[in-house]
Amino acid sequence: MANKKSEKTLVELESKAIDFREQRDWEQFHNPKNIAGSIAIEASELLEVFQWAEGKDSKKLAKKRLQEVKDEMADVLVYLVTLAHDLNIDLIEAAIEKIEKNDKKYPVEKAKGKSTKYTELKQ
């Protein structure tokens, strides 16, 4: 998480995002496929900020273009929260479950300091 934690909750963010959508009558356009596509598009726009930057320079670039990075990250998050709302998925619970799955796929003793995919880690 960022250096300072927001006092707002995911529930508050969800409420704000859904209210925003309802006020504009946009739910008619928000089926799971379209929202998933929007998540991919916004994630690509986030990646575009770092296009052509060397890995080591990307942190400096993120600081230089912080507002752009924040805006694109926010777009991804809002669409993700909206999709979770529509599909009745608890994002926090889902994320914790996924971390637990990854913990099994990437045991510390085999994965520490490696970027190897779990299928390639020596058994």
The count of structural domains within the chain is 2
- Residue 20 and residue 76 in one domain: yes
pLDDT in tens, 52-104: 999 889 999 999 999 999 999 999 999 999 999 999 999 999 999 999 999 99
Q: Is residue 1 part of a domain?
A: no
Residue 112 main-chain phi, psi, to 5 deg: -60, 125
**Rounded to two decimals, what is the model's pTM?**
0.87
For residues 17 and 55, state if they share a domain: yes
Residues of the domain holding 114: 91-123
Question: 55 and 24, same structural domain?
Answer: yes
Q: What is the CATH number of the domain that holds 61?
A: 1.10.287.1080
Q: Does residue 122 belong to any structural domain of this protein?
A: yes
Same-domain pairing of 81 and 122? no
